Structure 1
Amino acid sequence: MAEQAVPPEITAWFAGRDWRVRRHQAQMLEAADAGHHALLVADTGAGKTLAGFLPTLCDFTPSRLKDKAPPEGLHTLYISPLKALAHDVQRNLIAPIEEMELPIRVETRSGDTPSDRKARQRARPPHVLLTTPESLSLLLSYPEAAEMFASLRRVVIDEVHAFAAGKRGDLLALSLARLQALAPGLQRAALSATLADPDAYRGWLAPWGDLDSVALVEGEAGAAPLVEILVPEDARIPWSGHAATWAIPQLMERIAAHRTTLIFTNTRFLAEYIFQELWSANEDTLPIGIHHGSLSKEARRKVEGAMARGELRALVCTASLDLGIDWGDIDLVVQMGAPKGSSRLLQRIGRANHRLDSPSEALLVPGNRFEFLEAFAAQEAVREGQRDGEGFRPGGLDVLAQHVMGRACAGPFTEAEVLDEVRSSAAYAWVDAAILQRVLEFAATGGYALRAYDRFRRIVKDRDGLWRLTHPEHAARHRLNAGIIVDSEMLEVRFRNGRSLGKVEEGFGASLEPGDTFRFAGLDLEVESLKDLDLVVRAAKRSATIPSYMGQRMPISTHLAGRVQAMLADRAGWARFPDDVREWLEVQDWRSHLPAPGRLLVESFPHRDLAYTAFYTFEGWNANQSLGMLITRRMEDRGLGPLGFVATDYTLIVWSLKAVAEPAALLSPDILTHEFVDWVQQSYLLRRAFREVAVISGLVERQQPGKRKSGRQVTFSTDLIYDVLSKYEPDHVLIEAAWADARARLTDVARVGDLLERAAREIDHVHLERISPLAVPALSMIGRESLPAGAADDDLLFEAETLAGLAMQVEPTSEDPEAL
């Protein structure tokens, strides 16, 4: 039995706390003793972190040491996506170490660690080091890395779902490959509560993608969470809006009835808005705080300390608190607006109680009727234990370039050894000698178009065939600038005379090109140019093509979108919905069609003397926004006179002077080879992507000794280089990396492709005499401006109700004389 392998010191410590060693914790130890890597998937509160550290603790127990000296040097690395989580784990790990009197030194290392401590850690490392992917990568860039990591026996990766599929995961995958070369007997362990595809993560974790080398350990089932959907007291869910401000009075009642409530929002703007609304309704002056990534470090730590001490009754937050910081007094989690994914919702629910045997209590607060359906789908997914998540894609070349520079900083290397290491990680198994040579050439010269500039000459190949730094100062510059997280900039919207109208997210501004029109701050504006971080506009002479600035949003997951579509098709299941939601769907079914799984519903109808076409894609806001840009260009070429479009997670609605007769012609797959390429190149999307890859690869430095470049300075530098490369070296490795980012992240082209594939199979095109009920939520979004997300909700109610009155009107016909 696995439990028999647990040392008596450990079982006695558990017993002293009235705990027991759980099956999955013992199995993690058994996997380690057998020499296997391991992936643990277990519910929040199941003791995952302790399970990951159990083999380490056991290696230092007297019963296992048997009079031998404790291991010396660095024994275990713990990798966390958040610095705060590493500090939280340190506090929780110290208790068993001290109470069992184990000779283990534990320290943290992050960007906040003093430089003298960092130097001492390299010379005399602790037994356990808690750090982040970025700090680990920097540690590996020092010449003493080989000696420091030679004794390493174990790497524990916490909350692996939070970063493995992104660029931080690419960086960590490369670091793991390097560590495995320095310590061949190294064992890898990864922990998560929310994995939809464990085998994909086993492949990411395993050297050379060898699934058999990674044991899958599944945790004991915990108590099922109690998930409730809050609806208005009059049971009438709003047609439109995302803030759900209707729920504020009911929410204050729930806060008063619980010890501590954690209120999640999907954006920072919405967090600020909900916080203000709660304070306005807080007649009992209950202590309520706010936490999000835009707040200062000091403000965040102050709030975190107040939560840890149990001084707050409620905390409004964003994804900044998604991960496993353990605050035991939380007994209610609230999700304002749609959850967007079942895994994200499960992760957030797990912040309540944080105990495996006690059910977590959660409240979903939909802002509109589509969000009610999404909340209902998420509730069912949680009940069934179904998870979703981001898929893996090939590792980024910009990250590989950063890693290569780190290798050179640590000491000379050959191409063959680096290629062997890099290919041992699943993220970079696709890299061959030719691709690596391109990356090395970039690090050595900057590329053909930049080779004349000495500052881009960072490494060189000597007569012995070894790559080494051209000058020691490049190591200091690399360590000062290395990292993966490139903050998204805000663009200043202003007229040519300098008058500012406010700021928009760069992701929105980058999708525009000169001549595009959008509505912002109540004005119809035409784009003149995007220069540095200024979006220069003028008053538009026509109605805005993009009728509203929506702000940054996270898209609905493919899994949850599929569930919503299945619910729409399940007419018998509508009996579970509130009366107004059921009536909404019934009238839609009677007057038009409902979107069916595997098919694309397209509606055409006149409205206010214009022709409208609604595409019910369920592919997420980002994909629909991209599709809107592409379709309107194709409509323009066909003489249909497109005037604008609006996108939501579920729907894209385009209006034009002439009706769309054949929607299939607008959705042919070649739109991704013709219009897509033209749009990306003419807009600022590729420039935005290039700036990020230029920073990550080290081509452009954000930090210089004693000062940091502003976002405007970085943008100016990268724009100049982009222009040079686009003209003289369009096949540059960073242009290729920028295109990969533009396709994968900025435009969500994979989901656009899925939609086009579905459209090629089957389109249900319905011609209507007026707007349909299903189109109301999207059309009522027209006019939304850049107020903190939700502040315009009240202004939308009148428009939504007007549209709804038209859409829900059921007139008697000869076929149905008794229809009401």
Structure 2
Amino acid sequence: MTLPPVFQDWFARQGWQPHPHQLALLGAVGDSLLIAPTGGGKTLAGFLPSLVDLRDGAARRGSVHTLYVSPLKALTADIGRNLARPIADLDLPVRVEDRTGDTGATQRRRQRVDPPEILLTTPESLALMLSYPEAPRIFGGLRRVVLDELHALAESKRGDQLMLCLARLRHLAPGLRVTGLSATVEDPAALAGFMAGAAPVGIIQADPGPDPDIAMLPTATPAPWAGGGGHYAIPEVLDAVRQARTTIIFINTRAQAELFFQALWAANDDNLPIGLHHGSLSREARARVEAAMAAGDLRAVVATGSLDLGIDWGAVDLVIQIGAPRNVKRLVQRIGRANHRYNAPSRARIVPANRFEQIECVAALNAVRERDLDGDPRGPGPLDVLCQHILLTACAAPFDADALYAEVVTAGPYRALSRTDFDACLDFAATGGYALRAYDRWQRLMLRDGVWRLRDPRATRLLRMNIGTIVEAEMLKVRLRGRGGAPLGEVEEAFAASLTPGDSFLIGGRVVRMDALREMVIEVTPQPGAQPRIAVFSGVKLATSTQLAHRVLALIGDPARYAELPPDTRDWLRLQARISRLPEPGLLLSESFPHAGLWHFALYGFAGRNALQTLGLLMTREMEAAGLGPLGFLATDYALLIWSLDPVRDPAPLLDGGRLRAGLGEWLGDNAVMKRTFRNVATVAGLIQRNLPGLRKSGRQATFSSDILYDTLRKYDPGHLMLRITADEAGRGLVDFGRIEEMLARSPRQEHRMLDRVSPMAAPLLLEVGKVPIRGEGRERLARIEAETLMREAGLEVLM
């Protein structure tokens, strides 16, 4: 296929020339993965073959011609607006509609009878449409599928669900062409394999365009030694906003975004129009901000990952990242929001939240300049998603098990799926498994005349209401123990899952001991004056990627590269080398030193917060057994700090991989991690339902149901498929034990230093211990005084 003259004329009228990668995709034979930088016309490239095809009258009445799938509902609306222009200019006989959770019921019903030529949707809505008996007619004439922001979809179960849907579409419409679009891909071959069907996928890589203009934002006030949300840089951030047309200020968490937005407004003496955008805001509030940005009415917007992907706001000419990016690929994606044009360099500035983050920011900037993206290899397709897919397949029509298995293994993530695992998923979908097959509510499929069908067709409504792989995190209330105990606040479920009875933690500035978890309430007892065992409730935070952590470690371990760092950070690391030694690749460094009447053990693991949090839980168990009297610990992305009554003199036995794995099994049996993971797995697989006709189950009801099921299966059917999936996911998710093993494997040498005082690198960790939110200038001044005192103790008075 070549670009027809009418399309060439249209490009010329816009003052454009088709990019080589757009023409390459137009002429591609078979499925393709296009990798092009932000602003490189990826979306138009994806739709160009369809528009040319539709102009020639290729659409089949009553069937979708082109299906566009994106991870965000906001992107489908944006794409719809962008497509309207060429369709109107070229007078194409094409109807474009979206089909998402926001689409009205009347339009959804009409689309099943009279679908548009181009349908814009999300993975969940596509799975729903494929569950209807009309699916073969709606998609039988499908010619093209465009998968936008494919890298983002591939990072979660939503991508696995989409690939199963794609296998079904390939079955319904043999010969359809699939195009994946992405800007940030660390392993193109792996992503191409993820989206591939029976035939390989061709990879088209566009010219990456000019290098971005990226640097740290210079600030008059140095970054704090620990913690911080970047508030010290508010004056410089506001000044940068004044000098730009429109700025997106990215922050890693919703809570930090709220606090930074408040601080920004408090200092906004010029009353610059600044908005806030994150996933916890109402749809209406997000839509207002998006409309204001599109109209050019805002000078800046403070946002989280909700604006990471593809919405094209041409006026944005600056991106500011507050806090270390944690992931190079995420940073590149965010940088691309500025100067959304192919041949114009994106401009971005980074504000590290503290001095340790300065090192990570320098490492991330180097990775961006070298175009070295990070990413972890994906595991096999999850079986809970397959269970849901089997049930939805039955909603559409009876199916043959052999034919469905043959179809499923054409999906990239499930290519290595064994027939044994498929049959286990089918048995679960049909009966609930051995321990549950006596209950009617889980008897959902039956075999008749050689095909599997729904036992009760009325179940289709319930199954469709619970489509999807996203299980929202619940907030658990924290209350004092006893009848009518006073509420102290809420914590995220992920944090609650890491607690066992007896653990103490900080909430609202008070140290409390966890006594019990009853339904969705954590019952606690005050422990005034005690040191919290788990020092800081920090909720769910982004963990630094393995590759970026390795870069940070390499930078710290190479004094010849210190010229890249700010002078105060450079001096800090040199002092660490004099008093103790520096971490470096291949070496696992740890230290023991006295401070404030207790012994402290610091381990510089560079394995990510989740992994080091798990390591802290496991090591303190071992220390307790050894009689060392551990009292508490703190984990960051880089280091673990444990304080105890007696010193750790030889950490090697505490870091034995076999003992740690054995301890992991015992620990998982004692806390809520497994139950929490089981609830998520059971929800995706369809064992429990969150949505019921006429109502939505509360988190408390869902947790209560899943806890009963979990205990029942452990007692009567310990080999149940859901328990097997749960154990798999717990080890990879919150626990992140694989990164502990990776840390030990990449550090064949271990060195432990016994010191007579706190080391320079450990000093910022001590500032994190017991940290509570600071409000007001007086509290901030006290925090600075505490930091200065501790740094002098560490020998850092030369840096104050």
Shift of 1:786: 6.5
Aligned counterparts of 2:466 and 2:549: Cα–Cα separation in 1: 39
Task: Note if 1:744 corresponds to 2:732.
Answer: yes
The answer as to 2:398 corresponding to 1:412 is: yes
Other-structure match for 1:30 = 27
Distance 1:509 1:793, change over 3 A: farther
Q: Distance in 1 between matches of 2:525 and 2:6?
A: 73
**Secondary structure of the residue that 1:746 maps to in structure 2?**
coil
Partner of 1:476: 461
CA contact (8 A) 1:342 1:382 kept: yes
TM-score by length of structure 1 reads 0.94
Which residue in the other structure is 2:772 paired with? Answer: 785
2:649 maps to 1:661: yes
Aligned match for 1:127, one of 112, 117, 120: 117
Aligned to 1:581: 569
Cα separation, 1, equivalents of 2:186 and 2:717? 41
Match of 2:48 in 1: 54
Instruction: Specify which of 476, 490, 495 is matched with residue 480 of structure 2.
Output: 495
Give the C-alpha shift of residue 756 in structure 1: 2.5
Query: Cα gap change, 1:329/1:583 in structure 2, threshold over 3 Å: closer, same or farther?
Result: same
Determine if the alignment matches structure 1 residue 451 to structure 2 residue 437.
yes
Inter-partner Cα distance in structure 2 for 1:724 and 1:276 = 48
Separation (CA, whole Å) in 2 of partners of 1:424 and 1:566: 41
1:51-70 CA-partner distances (Å, limit 9, x unpaired): 11111112123xxx3xx665
AA at the equivalent of 1:6: L
Residue of structure 2 in register with 1:266 after alignment:
252
Q: For the residues of structure 1 that align with 2:452 and 2:474, how far apart are their CA atoms?
A: 36
Letter in 1 for 2:662: H
User: Does the CA contact (< 8 Å) of 1:491 and 1:535 recur in 2?
Assistant: yes
The equivalent position to 1:185 in structure 2, one of 175, 183, 190, is 175
Distance 2:288 2:9 in 1: 37
Counterpart residue type for residue 261 of structure 1: T
2:126 counterpart residue number = 136
Asked if the contact 2:623–2:630 (Cα under 8 Å) also holds between the matched residues in 1, the reply is yes
In structure 1, what is the Cα distance between the partners aligned to 2:617 and 2:779? 24
Q: Quick check: 1:231–1:237 contact (8 Å CA) kept in 2?
A: no
Q: What is the DSSP-based 3-state SS (H/G/I as helix, E as strand, rest coil) of the residue aligned with 2:537? A: coil
SS at structure 1 position matched to 2:652: helix
Larger mean CA deviation between 5-14 and 628-637 belongs to 5-14
CA spacing shift, 1:96–1:661, aligned 2, 3 Å: same
Alignment match, 1:688: 676
Match of 2:371 in 1: 385
| Contact 2:605/2:638 (<8 A) preserved | yes
User: What is the CA–CA distance in structure 2 between the aligned matches of 1:753 and 1:707, rounded to whole Å?
Assistant: 44
Does the CA contact (< 8 Å) of 2:59 and 2:141 recur in 1?
no
Q: Distance in 1 between matches of 2:494 and 2:321?
A: 25
Report the Cα distance in structure 1 between the residues aligned to 2:619 and 2:130, rounded to whole angstroms: 48
The question of whether the paired residues in 1 share the 8 Å contact of 2:218 and 2:236 is answered with no
**278, 286, 291: which is aligned to 2:277?**
291
Question: Which structure 2 residues correspond to residues 762-801 of structure 1 after superposition, within 5 A?
Answer: 762-785=749-772, 796-801=783-788
Local SS of the residue matching 2:761: helix
Deviation at 1:118, TM superposition (A): 1.3
Q: Is 1:39 the equivalent of 2:27?
A: no
2:409 to 407, 413, 423: 423
Q: Map 1:216-615 onto structure 2 (within 5 A).
A: 216-233=203-220, 236-462=222-448, 464-497=449-482, 498-540=485-527, 542-615=530-603
Q: CA deviation at 1:7?
A: 1.7
Report the counterpart of residue 815 of structure 1 in structure 2. none
Q: Secondary structure at the match of 2:181?
A: strand
Residue type of the partner of 1:467? W
Partner of residue 175, structure 1: 165
Report if aligned partners of 1:241, 1:367 keep a CA contact under 8 Å in 2.
yes
Distance 1:743 1:565 in 2: 25
The correspondence for 1:733, drawn from 706, 711, 721, is: 721
Matches within 5 A, 1:106-125: 106-125=96-115
How much does 1:792 deviate? 8.4
In the TM superposition, 1:676-715 aligns within 5 A as 676-715=664-703
Give per-residue Cα distances to partners, 1:362-410, cap 9 Å, x unaligned: 1100111111111111111111111112421121111111000011001
Distance 2:160 2:20 in 1: 32
Deviations 1:726-781 (A, max 9, x none): 1111211111121122111111122111012234x211222221111111222210
C-alpha distance in structure 1 between counterparts of 2:453 and 2:756, whole Å: 71
> Distance in 1 between the 2:196 and 2:289 partners?
38
- Quote the offset at 1:673 in angstroms: 2.9
Amino acid in structure 1 at the alignment position of 2:763: V
Distance 1:118 1:793, change over 3 A: farther
1:662-691 Cα shifts (integer Å, max 9, x gaps):
212111111443111111121100111111
Alpha carbons of structure 1 residues 45 and 668: separation in structure 2 relative to 1, 3 Å? same
The 3-state SS of whatever aligns with 1:295 is: coil
Query: Which residue of 2 is the match for residue 8 of structure 1?
Result: 5
- Contact preservation (8 Å) 1:39, 1:217: yes
Give % identity: 48
Q: Counterpart in 2 of 1:816?
A: none
| 1-structure distance, mates of 2:470, 2:670 | 26
Shift of residue 179, structure 1, vs aligned partner? 1.0
Structure 1 contact 524–543 (Cα < 8 Å) conserved: yes
**Residue in 2 that maps onto 1:98:** 88
TM superposition score normalised by structure 2 = 0.97
Q: Is the 1:776–1:807 Cα contact (8 Å) retained in structure 2? A: yes
Q: Which runs of 5+ in 1 are unaligned?
A: 812-818
Whether the aligned pair in 2 keeps the contact of 1:158 and 1:190 (CA below 8 Å) is: yes
> Segments of 4+ in structure 1 off by > 6 A?
790-794
Contact 2:387/2:425, CA 8 A, preserved across alignment: yes
Q: CA RMSD in A?
A: 2.0
The amino acid that maps onto 1:161 is: H
Using the TM superposition, give the Cα deviation of residue 800 of structure 1 relative to its aligned residue in structure 2, in angstroms. Answer: 2.5
Of the structure 1 ranges 427-436 and 272-281, higher mean CA displacement relative to structure 2 is found in: 427-436
Distance in 2 between the 1:135 and 1:680 partners?
36
Q: Is the 8 A contact 1:369 1:581 kept in 2?
A: yes
Query: Is residue 401–residue 440 contact of structure 1 (8 Å, CA) maintained in 2?
Result: yes
Offset of residue 797 of structure 1: 3.2
TM-superposed deviation, 1:794: 6.5
Equivalent position amino acid for 1:669 in 2: G
How far apart are the structure 1 equivalents of 2:402 and 2:144? 26
Alpha carbons 2:310, 2:337 under 8 Å: kept: yes
Letter in 1 for 2:644: S
Three-state SS of the structure 2 residue aligned to 1:808 is coil
Give, in whole Å, the separation in 2 of the partners of 1:276 and 1:189.
42
Q: Equivalent residues in 2 for 1:81-92 (5 A)? A: 81-92=71-82
More deviation, 279-288/440-449: 440-449
Other structure's SS at 1:747 match: coil
Q: Using a 3 Å threshold, how does the CA distance of structure 1 residues 178 and 787 change in structure 2: closer, same or farther?
A: farther
Classify the secondary structure of the residue corresponding to 1:207.
coil
Structure 2 CA distance, aligned partners of 1:150 and 1:70?
Answer: 11
Seen in structure 2, the aligned counterparts of structure 1 residues 324 and 131 have a Cα distance that, compared at 3 Å, is: same
State the structure with bigger RCO (CA 8 A, min sep 6), 1 or 2: 1
* One-letter amino acid of the counterpart of residue 120, structure 2: L
Aligned length: 796
